[in-house]
Amino acid sequence: MTAAATHTGAPIRAKRVLPGFTLSLGTTLLYMTFIVLIPVITLILKGAEIGPERFWRIISSPRAVAAFQITLTAALIATAFNAIYGLLMAWVLVRYEFRGKRILDALMDVPFALPTAVAGLSLTALFSANGWFGPVLDAMGIQVVYTIWGIALAMAFTSVPFVVRTVQPVLEDMDPALEQAALTLGARPWAIFTRVVFPAILPAWLAGCTTAFARSLGEFGAIVFIAGNLPFRTEIAALLAYIRLEEFDYNGAAAIALVLLAFALVLLVVSNVLQAWASRHREASR
């Protein structure tokens, strides 16, 4: 039925409601190039200058390996904690009405808004030997400050909003009829949660957890105060890169940074694959 139109020349295009596609796309691409793409490319080029042999020597040095191990382990601990706590928090904020709910909701953004150095300082003050929590934990034989637990704590603090804020809207938009349907079909609360609610929020939860993990890997400001920064024990990868930079060892810094970048990219891919898998029923209709 469009034959007549196509014969006359250029196809007729639908007019957009708001014009400016070219302009807005151009601006976006330009911005992305300067802010994201060029720095990443520079980093890769810097790394390429080193040559594979030296590169490998830098990143496989015992101190660097220890730093990567510490960073990964702490980030895993922090993410495991946030995966559960963040989900719980989102649940409470969506499902219940209580006094002070809005304040709690607003507090959830504090880790985003607070300068990470301030977070690191206050956490250190609280958990150090003469802080509020330090002596109590000390009595129980738990040392937080200057250990990997301190690093995980600082990471958890700065990354928990990622989980809460990705799960929350999905949970809010869930049709209450789904749970009611499960109820009328005889499902008990635990079955309703595991078989109806959780699968619905799974993609968002996975996305939240992976971004929280990525953020934890890169966290710096909050950690350096509480970690003590002892090489081989509590020195994180980002700090090691910083130290190399201070020593004017640009290659050393770039190599370590590249490894962090690789981690981040792998995470991005994993995150997308997981989300696609968890929402395969939605893809199926397209």
Partner 1 sequence: MSITISGLTKRFAKTDVLRGVELGVDKGELVALLGPSGSGKTTLLKIIAGLEWPDTGRLRVDGQDWLKLAAQDRRIGFVFQHYALFPHMKVRENLAFGLSVRPRAERPGKTIIAAKVDELLHFLQIDHLADRYPAQLSGGQRQRVALGRALAIEPKVLLLDEPFGALDAAIRRDLRRWLRGVHEATGSTTIFVTHDQEEAFELADRVVVMGEGQIAQIGDADTIHDHPATPFVARFMGATVELPVTLLAGRAEGAGLDLSTLPRRALPDGAGRLFVRAEDITPVPEPDAPWRIVSRTSTGAHLRLVLRHPKLGEAEAEVPRRAVRAEALTPDAAVRLKIEAGTIFSSAPNSAATQPSLQTKPIQLERSQ
Binding site for partner 1 (CB under 8 A): 175, 177-178, 180-188, 191, 195-196, 199-200, 281-282, 284-285
**Residue 173 Cβ, how far from partner 1 at the closest point, in Å?**
12
**Residue 95 Cβ, how far from partner 1 at the closest point, in Å?**
16
Of 87 and 253, CB closest to partner 1: 87
Of 38 and 181, CB closest to partner 1: 181
Q: Which residue has the tokens 């050393």?
A: 252
**Residue 257 Cβ, how far from partner 1 at the closest point, in Å?**
39
- Between CA 273 and CA 32 the distance in angstroms is 23
Of 61 and 275, CB closest to partner 1: 275
**Residue 203 Cβ, how far from partner 1 at the closest point, in Å?**
10
Of 133 and 193, CB closest to partner 1: 193
Instruction: Please report, as a single letter, which amino acid is at residue 53.
Output: E
Phi and psi for 130 in degrees, rounded to 5? Answer: -110, 20
- Between CA 102 and CA 100 the distance in angstroms is 5
**Residue 168 Cβ, how far from partner 1 at the closest point, in Å?**
19
Tokens standing for 136? 């109590």
Of 105 and 179, CB closest to partner 1: 179
Nearest to 257 by CA among 53, 67, 32: 67
CA count, 13 A, side-chain hemisphere, 24: 4
Nearest to 154 by CA among 76, 86, 72, 221: 221
State the DSSP code for 10.
Answer: S
Of 8 and 184, CB closest to partner 1: 184
Of 13 and 188, CB closest to partner 1: 188
**CB-based contact 79:213 (threshold 8 Å):** yes
**CB-based contact 157:108 (threshold 8 Å):** no
C-alpha distances in angstroms, 148 versus 21, 73, 153?
Answer: 49, 8, 9
State the DSSP code for 174.
Answer: S
Tokens standing for 31? 């911005």
Residues 6+ apart with CB under 8 A from 245: 253
Of 44 and 185, CB closest to partner 1: 185
DSSP states along 259-284: HHHHHHHHHHHHHHHHHHHHTHHHHT
